[in-house]
Structure 1
Amino acid sequence: MLRSAVCLLLIICFLWIDSEIGYSKEKWIHIPKEKAPDARVLHTAIWDGHQMIIWGGVSDGGIDLNTGGRYDPSTDTWTSVTTEKAPDIRENHTAIWDGHQMIIWGGIDDKTGVLNTGGRYDPSTDIWTPIATESVPEARYVHTVIWTGTYMIVWGGSNIIDTFNDGGRYDPSTDIWTPIATEESSETRSNHTAIWDGHQMIIWGGTGRSDVLNTGGRYNPSTDTWLPVTTEGTPTPRVFHTAIWDGHQMIIWGGVGNGGVGLNTGGRYNPSTDTWLPITTEDSPEARNGHTAIWDGHQMIVWGGTDNEGVSNTGSKFSE
């Protein structure tokens, strides 16, 4: 009897220690400002397998940009991105990595308005090339894109007058655009996020016709069908947040909630179980919005955006 009690106590202690160690693995580490690009908000960021590439956005002085930078977490250093033949200045655009190049599309600038143009950037050569404009989706900004492994899917967004629940598919191997079905698609929204989990596109949050949202949808391009995302345990409604896929779950962080309140909270969504879990706020960056986040294979890197101090060129790394 005593032996059983001791064994039970040891098991309980082991489980407690294991849970404490597992939780303590979550941490934030700040990244350097030396040689970092100018402070900006409403820019984009992608991960190319070795480095984070940020591009575009709005400067601290309110000027739209067509500059960028490359951050290597293994050396903790920044290098610049060429502006030769770069796309026009813009903000609220999108960017994806197709395995060889970064593809920029859409957005808005303070001179020509809403855009349906873009460009492809090869970091190995530091060279830009344009992308096709034939059969391209209607000009828009605050939309989302994901990469399926074969093509880029554009969805949602706004042209200032209207908000969309449609999009298009771009194949960089052929430089051709084709439309996608809209039947039974998720509700109209902009300023949302989207990730690709290997099988489906998951969109979440943003602004609907009148309200800030904490709803979402899952689109399967192989079946051309939509499924909802549960709202049980979901993060609070928000816009201008970020979302990444870590190989198992979607991680939402930051943004602006109802009433214009900045957020430094988030959540983790598991599509295989359709469930949400919160993430720690201990040592997290200050509440911010319009920032970017990427997954480097081990950690989420948050950078830039607007916080309580204004437009930021600071960032942090989150791991579990």
Structure 2
Amino acid sequence: MGPPYLGNPCTEAGLLGCQGTAQKLQLICDGTKWVSNGACAGEMICDTRAGATLGTCQVPSCPAGRTTCDGAALVTCSADMLSSTREECASAEHCSQALGGRCAKCLSSETRCDGSSLLGCSTDRQSMGVRETCATAALCDASAAKCAAPQCAAGEFRCDGDKLTKCNDGRTAFELVKTCSAGRCDAFNKECNECTPGVKDCLGSVPRLCDVTGRWQTLAGCSGATPMCVAGKCEPGVCGSGEHRCVGDVLEKCNETFSGFTPFKSCFAGLCDAVGGECDDCKDGAADCVGNTPRACTSLGHWKTLAPCAGATPLCRKGVCEPAVCSAGQYRCTGDLLEVCNSSLSGFSAVTTCAVGYCNAALGKCDECKPGEVRCVGDTPQVCASDNRWSSSTTCGSTTAVCLAGACVPQPKGWKNMAYASGVQGRRYHTAVWTGSEMIVWGGETSISDTPTGGAYDLSFDRWRALPSAPLNARRLHVGVWSGQQMIVWGGTNSYSRYANGAMYDPSTDKWTLMATSGAPTARSEATAVWSTTTNEMIVWGGWDGTNAFANGARFAPSATGGTWRSMANPSSFAVRYGHTAVWTGTRMIVFGGRSSYCSGGYCGTAAAYDPVTDTWATLTVPTSLDGRYDHGAALMGTRAVFWGGRGSLVGGTNLRNTGANYDGSYWRTMAVPSETVLPNSQRSDMVAWGSATHFFVWGGMSLAGFASTGAMFDPATNTWTALPNGNAPSARPGATVVWTGRAAIVWGGGSGLNDGKVYWP
């Protein structure tokens, strides 16, 4: 079927059309051809657009070909005067400068530089063309739409005082070539002259004259009776070839120009020899020793080696063979210091410092023990053998048997008494660590003041010993970790100051060593610290200096000489805080909670994980059961970091919490809330918390009813809580510490400065 046109054939009866585009005559198909269907009245035209309005009369919406801008869009009225097309231009200004129904590709005022060519927009605004070619690319100024005038000629040199300059490649300015000596700049020859014409001087012993071109001309060298060149003339020398002299202990030699002496070498006191032209080794008649071999100084100032000392006189002293002070392999004890006869047999050298009373000169080593003593290493009994060394017995094999007082006994159950800490002050807000055989406590606040003292409790023998004085100020709210060899304490506060120092206590030597301070964090209290088993270092993070909280820290590697600090990365988008907790999982440190003005309501409900191997942080998304809080409990339960309880914003009339969650390194698990039957007044803070391989425990703390003396155990396998027995439990107390031995928990101190505690056996 042909296009609609009067008389053209068609087959679809009733089909509407128009006699051309933007015309008034309407058409209709009668089944064989197109016939008139009337004409549109007034300004109306026949609609040729496909669709329901085809062949109907419509009021034109725009003149054909007219263009307008809708923002950056160029709108062009179509030939049918009823529709339009849109083309997106680069900007509204590019639309406003459109020509011939096309978006402008450039603006009439636009200029830019292409090398040395200044480009401008073409008259049809569709491309950039060369408007002007500049002398250099640097002279093309697009912002001014013109080529700048060259400031100098290509290759031009000039002198600016004593500075030789050259026109730069862009011809925009002169650039420095070199700075000449005064009066030596020569722009014509494009260089610095060597000298001023007519001047004479010396090059060593050779005179020279500056010619008219500013170049040196060499004259005949000085020699014979006038070997010295002075101001371009040959004159007699000050000294002769090879002549030496001594100025004090400095040996000097006549210089190459014979104009004076120059230092040759520095000798030891009294050993400068001008006649020999050298430093003597010794003074005539002197004698000394090289090891056990005597030597004597000759008249020429050199050593002569004599026969080595041996036999009855093996020791060389001041060049004379004498009897030995001690024999090879001989040991002695000076107090607790074990010493051995040195290689020259002239005295004793230190070997090591033994524990008090354990230096054994007869065996040439420190005794581990005294014969008949017993002890426990974990669950293995040991007895001291006749060689003063520990000998292990069979490990207590049953899960219901433990090693106590050097013997396997049935494991106790529930709360058990522990020895009163005689000689060790009671305290709170101290630190406590488990060494594998002892709980060591240090620092804290007594009933009177802060203390710099400490003590060690031996669970196996139920006995205490006092620690030696620490080289630190009294303090509380510090951090403490066990490295596997030392207890490391750092930071903290007292009534006068906050601290950025610390010390290490080694129970094997019963001695303290001050920690290095270079690279340590700034002074603070209420920080956290963990021992990293992947990098063998203590990680300190966060804390409070009395004015500011921190989101930084450092890492400390201990050593016998004080150890070293190194920096650690700061977490991104993780608020500063103090009063938070940190748990070491075996590969990462997990930080949660705390107080900060940068956290919602002042209580932090965020967590992050730090990997010391890669020195990187990862922010963790915690469940809603862990809202913002501080003074909560935290511990490692197997491989899970557990956080529970604490205090935060008011919820239900209280700021105390009885909610928590545990994190296995990949997923968080919300913990069930303990019932009031299992844990009365379960909403609490300031409790002690510990974890075993399979369970999480809490005890004591501040509850709605005051200080609590009850506790509970959480089982992650069933997500349930079980009450701890109340019989013989410790008295209620805040500020206590707890350590987990692997078989039992030791709760000690706290309150108003108590020095008692209990041992809980699950």
State TM-score, norm by structure 1: 0.78
Alignment partner, residue 133 of structure 1: 517
Does residue 466 of structure 2 align to residue 80 of structure 1?
Answer: yes
Question: 454, 457, 468: which is aligned to 1:68?
Answer: 454
Deviations 1:125-177 (A, max 9, x none): 11001011112111111101111121111100011110001101111147211
Q: Hey, what's the Cα distance between the residues in 2 that align with 1:72 and 1:311?
A: 21
- Match for residue 189 of structure 1 among 562, 574, 577: 577
Deviates more, 1:185-194 or 1:245-254: 245-254
Aligned positions, number:
288
Kept in 2, the 8 Å contact 1:254–1:288? The answer is: no
1:191-250 C-alpha deviation (Å, 9 max, x unpaired): 2221211111022332222534454332222341223262444498332x5533354334
1:45 counterpart (432, 436, 440): 432
| 2:744 is aligned with 1:299 | yes
Decide whether aligned partners of structure 1 residues 262 and 127 sit closer, same or farther in structure 2, where only a CA change above 3 A counts: farther
Counterpart position of 1:100: 485
Matched AA of 1:33? Y
After superposition, the Cα gap between the structure-2 partners of 1:147 and 1:256, relative to the gap in structure 1 and judged at 3 Å, is: same
The reply on whether 1:162 has 2:162 as its aligned counterpart is no
Secondary structure of 2:474's counterpart equals: coil
Give the conservation status (yes or no) of the 8 Å contact 1:264–1:287: no
Relative to structure 1, the CA distance from residue 249 to residue 237 in structure 2 (aligned partners, 3 Å threshold; closer, same or farther) is: same
Q: Which has the larger radius of gyration?
A: 2
The one-character-per-residue Cα deviations of 1:266-305 (angstroms, maximum 9, x if unpaired) are: 8673424422436515436565432222221123333222
Q: Does 1:312 align with 2:754?
A: yes
Paired AA for residue 165 in structure 1: A
Please name the residue that 1:275 is paired with: 669
SS in 1 for 2:508: coil
Whether the 8 Å contact between 1:256 and 1:289 is mirrored in structure 2 is no
- Are the counterparts in 2 of residues 104 and 119 from structure 1 also a CA contact under 8 Å? yes
What is the one-letter code of the residue matched to 1:39?
G
Corresponding residue of 2:441: 54
What is residue 225 of structure 1 aligned with on the other side? 617
CA contact (8 A) 1:251 1:269 kept: yes
- Equivalents in 2 of 1:191, 1:96: separation in Å? 17
> What is the CA–CA distance in structure 2 between the aligned matches of 1:195 and 1:97, rounded to whole Å?
14
Deviates more, 1:70-79 or 1:227-236: 227-236
Q: CA 1:244/1:175 → structure 2, altered by over 3 Å: closer, same or farther?
A: same
Q: Does the CA contact (< 8 Å) of 1:291 and 1:303 recur in 2?
A: yes
Compute the RMSD of aligned alpha carbons. Answer: 3.2
Query: Which amino acid in structure 1 is aligned with residue 755 of structure 2?
Result: N
Higher relative contact order (CA 8 A, sep 6+): 1
- Given that 1:254 and 1:289 are in contact with CA atoms closer than 8 Å, whether structure 2 keeps it comes out as no
Secondary structure, in 3 states, of the residue corresponding to 1:313? coil
Instruction: Note the C-alpha offset of 1:74.
Output: 1.9
Change (3 A) 1:68 1:33: same
The structure with more helix, counted as a fraction of residues:
1
Give the aligned partner of residue 107 of structure 2: none
| 257 and 200 in structure 1: CA distance in 2 versus 1, 3 angstrom threshold | same
User: Aligned in 2, Cα 1:262/1:86: closer, same or farther, shift over 3 Å?
Assistant: farther
The residue aligned with 1:119 is 503
Cα 1:262–1:31, aligned 2, differ >3 Å: closer, same or farther? Answer: farther
Distance 1:305 1:212, change over 3 A: farther
CA distance in 1, matches of 2:658, 2:461: 29
Match of 1:147 in 2: 531
Check whether the contact 2:606–2:628 (CA below 8 A) recurs between aligned residues.
no
Q: Residues of 2 paired with 1:145 and 1:191: CA distance?
A: 12
Question: Shift of the alpha carbon at 1:180?
Answer: 0.9
Distance 1:264 1:29, change over 3 A: farther
Q: Is the 8 A contact 2:642 2:663 kept in 1?
A: no
Matched AA of 2:445 = V
- 5+ residue gaps in structure 1? 1-24
Relative to structure 1, the CA distance from residue 211 to residue 290 in structure 2 (aligned partners, 3 Å threshold; closer, same or farther) is farther
SS of 1:41 mapped into structure 2: coil
Letter in 2 for 1:244: A
Q: 1:40–1:242: structure 2 CA closer, same or farther, 3 Å change rule? A: farther
Conserved in 2, the CA contact under 8 Å of 1:249 and 1:268?
no
1:238 has 2:630 as partner: yes
Amino acid at match of 1:155: W
Q: Distance in 1 between matches of 2:458 and 2:594?
A: 30
Contact between 1:66 and 1:89, CA under 8 Å: does it hold in 2? Answer: yes
What residue is the counterpart of 2:407 in the other structure? none
Q: Is the 8 A contact 2:442 2:452 kept in 1?
A: yes
Letter in 1 for 2:585: D
Q: TM-score, normalised by structure 2?
A: 0.35
**1:166-177 paired onto structure 2 within 5 Å:** 166-173=552-559, 175-177=563-565
Shift of 1:81: 0.8
Q: Is the 8 Å Cα contact of residues 645 and 660 (structure 2) preserved in structure 1?
A: no
**Which residue of 1 is the match for residue 81 of structure 2?**
none
Amino acid at match of 1:197: T
Alignment match, 1:10: none
Structure 2 gap ranges (5+): 1-411, 673-696, 698-711, 713-722
Q: Residues 28-48 of structure 1, C-alpha deviation per residue, up to 9 Å, x if partnerless? A: 445332427322111101111
* Paired-residue identity, %: 34
Structure 1 Cα separation of the partners of residues 584 and 647 of structure 2: 23
Contact between 2:421 and 2:756, CA under 8 Å: does it hold in 1?
Answer: no
Deviation at 1:316, TM superposition (A): 3.8
Over 3 Å counting, the alpha-carbon distance change for 1:232 and 1:151 in structure 2 is same
Partners of 1:297 and 1:65 lie apart in 2 by: 29
Distance change (3 Å), C-alpha of 1:29 and 1:218: farther
